[in-house]
Amino acid sequence: MNRKNFIKNSAMAGMSFSLFPSSGIFAQGKNLQKVRLAIIGVGARGTGHLDLLLRRDDVDLVAICDVDDRVLKTAKEMITKSGKKMPQVYTGDINAWQKLVQQEKLDGVVIVTPWEWHKPMIIGALEAGIKYVASEVILGITLQDHWDVVKAAEKNKAHVMMLENVCYRRDVMAVLNMVRQGLFGELIHLQGGYQHDLREVLFNDGTSTYGHGVEFGEKAFSEAHWRTEHSVHRNGDLYPTHGVGPIAQYIDINRGNRFVSLCSFSSKARGLHNHVVKVGGNDHPNAKVKFKAGDVITTSINCANGETILLQHDTNLPRPYSLGFRVQGTEGLWMDVNNSIYLEGKSAENDKWDAAQSWLDKYDHPLWKRWSKETKGAGHGGMDFFVIHGFVEAIKRSAPTPMDVYDAAAYSAITPLSEQSIDLGNQTVEFPDFTSGQWMYRKPSFSLTDEY
């Protein structure tokens, strides 16, 4: 009997359920019709969330905050166009957000700032008494940051949700439905990653959001203003959550399973330097910059229930976008790169791929069936609707968020752990258990119904 079945079958699991209900350590209470929310950071991604929040009748957007007048102007224009009341605007210095979290009586706050701001802003919001905090992907920089956020959520009995939107991609959710119905058999191996040519995101001309120049840092705009520095100073899987989030849902990470150990390898770094030289010329000052982040980072993770995971971070070379999912079990597999599924005894022909689409249509997840009309116009093919929807609906019900602080920490801690592994000459490093043993008793809760 494997460990998972043992836990499922043991009397202890039944007993523990009453000790640690699925709502976890957090109390449930009132039902709200309308929630008071604020957004900190209304840049490229923040305006996407702003658009989604403005569309909802159950959201009262009472405050926004940013330090950049240009993005605030765009945000204000969007709000005016929506016909909604102009929220209070907090700006002027990098600590204006502290006044926002302390002064507005918020049901929740959505943090959409550079990675290095997430931890202080999440903890600042929790300490100001806000019970629902959503943060864009990447919880913190160091491993200790991840522990600090987990401990702050526990201490304040509050919910922290990382807005990992790929968990809601339509094909990803159809495959989740198939996994839960046992079509792939027992899962054995999973792959995914962030495989997206970011060269035009990491450099621009200081005016455009994407490309038209090779500036980064002070002279650049949007993500090139802050994100590129991470590739100068760090070597690891800098953006693991889009690949690992869906995988974690497939194999019930933090809910009967957990990541146990991790090992990372880095290739050499050429892509970003070559891009600077190609676009900006050999004499551009950034041609002298040494980028520490390898072009392709490959990470293996071992799980408590015996599955292996292969994650790749590949953002600096020419390549079409693909997250490279592979979900493989004892009965067959899905691979998103060639859009194909093979299920032994069920596929049309023995040993031949089926085009995935007919399977994905047949097993369309109930959430997508119910809400696909509302996803029209939402970012990333509609999946962004669900991640905000999940956060808002959880607040209205005073219920746990669809993904919680333990999920956020586990997905995001891959970055500092992979840096550590590479630094130690590709040593395998232990994965911390942010749930402090509760993973054995917690039950799967992500998108079990068509509600949120």
138 binds ligand NAD (CB under 6 A): yes
Shorter beta-carbon distance to ligand NAD: residue 140 or 256: 140
128 binds ligand NAD (CB under 6 A): no
24, 36, 38, 45: which one binds ligand NAD (CB under 6 A): 45
What part of residues 340-399 is at the interface with ligand NAD (CB under 6 A)? 380
Q: Which strand ranges, in their side-by-side order, compose the sheet holding 187-195?
A: 354-355, 340-343, 332-335, 326-329, 187-195, 308-314, 296-303, 259-266, 429-430
Count of Cβ atoms closer than 10 Å to residue 319 Cβ: 13
The interface region with ligand NAD, picked from 35-43, 148-156, 273-281, 435-443 by CB under 6 A, is 35-43
Shorter beta-carbon distance to ligand NAD: residue 286 or 315: 315
User: Cα–chain-centroid distance for residue 123?
Assistant: 18
7, 109, 130, 137: which one binds ligand NAD (CB under 6 A): 137
To ligand NAD, the closest distance from the beta carbon of 118 in angstroms equals 7
38, 71, 141, 263: which one binds ligand NAD (CB under 6 A): 71
CB 231 within 8 A of CB 316: yes
51 binds ligand NAD (CB under 6 A): no
97, 216, 431, 446: which one binds ligand NAD (CB under 6 A): 97
26, 115, 250, 391: which one binds ligand NAD (CB under 6 A): 115
Cα 113–221–142 angle (5° rounding)? 40
11, 94, 105, 345: which one binds ligand NAD (CB under 6 A): 94
46, 140, 193, 294: which one binds ligand NAD (CB under 6 A): 46
Q: Which two tokens stand for residue 339?
A: 């859009």
Residue with tokens 């160091």: 142
13, 54, 67, 277: which one binds ligand NAD (CB under 6 A): 67
Shorter beta-carbon distance to ligand NAD: residue 315 or 398: 315
Q: What separation in angstroms does the CA of 377 have from each of 51, 77, 364, 394, 426?
A: 10, 18, 20, 23, 43
To ligand NAD, the closest distance from the beta carbon of 190 in angstroms equals 20
Q: Residue 24: left if φ>0, alpha if ψ -120 to 50, beta else—which one?
A: left
Shorter beta-carbon distance to ligand NAD: residue 171 or 307: 171
Shorter beta-carbon distance to ligand NAD: residue 41 or 329: 41
Q: What are φ and ψ of residue 216, in 5° steps?
A: -145, 170
Pairing of strands 88-90, 187-195: unpaired
61, 63, 106, 112: which one binds ligand NAD (CB under 6 A): 112
Shorter beta-carbon distance to ligand NAD: residue 150 or 167: 167
To ligand NAD, the closest distance from the beta carbon of 44 in angstroms equals 4
Q: What are φ and ψ of residue 11, in 5° steps?
A: -60, -30
Shorter beta-carbon distance to ligand NAD: residue 113 or 447: 113
What part of residues 187-216 is at the interface with ligand NAD (CB under 6 A)? none
To ligand NAD, the closest distance from the beta carbon of 281 in angstroms equals 26
7, 35, 38, 40: which one binds ligand NAD (CB under 6 A): 40
104 binds ligand NAD (CB under 6 A): no
Mask for 214-243, x = binds ligand NAD (CB under 6 A):
--------xx-x------------------
Shorter beta-carbon distance to ligand NAD: residue 152 or 202: 202
Residues forming contacts to ligand NAD in the complex (CB under 6 A) are 40-41, 43-46, 65-68, 71, 94, 97, 112-115, 117, 136-138, 163, 165, 222-223, 225, 380
